[in-house]
Amino acid sequence: MFNDRLNVSALPLLSVNQPHLECQGLLLSLPDTRPTFILNCYRPPDADINQATLSVSNLLNSLDGIDNKDILVLGDWHIDLLAKSPGRVVFNCMLSTQALTQIIKIPTRISLVKSSLLDVICTNNTGLYINLGVISLGLSDHNLIVVSRKGPKKS
């Protein structure tokens, strides 16, 4: 549990390490907001997309009170969401079933030959997030994906 003088807490909830999916989940609590469940995922390039999406769906469905939380599912899924593919269809079906929207819309991996959108940020509350972006740091073949969360409404 992490607490600071700003009254922010982050409670680790789960860690999954399977051949088709690695993920970590935590519950983030900020003052005057609903809790946010953050699930960071990595699907290896050759892993079965059906098993990975089923695992994420099962994890989300197993969480107590998930309907009263904001959700962020993010990470590297190794599916090019800019290209038509069976993997994209499976991934989008999982998002639809879980009432999530993928909010990164520009390529996250750019090579001399191809631009791909492999890294995602998905949420059940798109109105909370601003300043979406992709930043090239030159440290990886993937770019950094970033998003800012709006603060609570002032009374």
- pLDDT by 10s per residue, the chain, length 155: 444 556 788 888 889 999 999 999 999 998 888 999 999 999 999 999 999 999 999 999 998 888 889 999 999 999 999 999 999 999 999 999 999 999 999 999 988 899 999 999 999 999 999 888 898 887 788 888 899 888 777 66
pTM, 2 dp: 0.89
**What does the domain layout of the chain look like in residue ranges?**
2-149
Lateral strand order in the sheet of 36-42: 2-3, 9-18, 21-29, 36-42, 70-76, 119-123, 101-102
pLDDT at 112: 87
| Helices 86-97 + 49-62 axis angle, to 10 | 10
CATH class of this structure's domain 2-149: alpha beta
pLDDT at 3: 47
pLDDT at 2: 47
Spatial contact of 24 and 30, defined as CB atoms under 8 Å apart: no
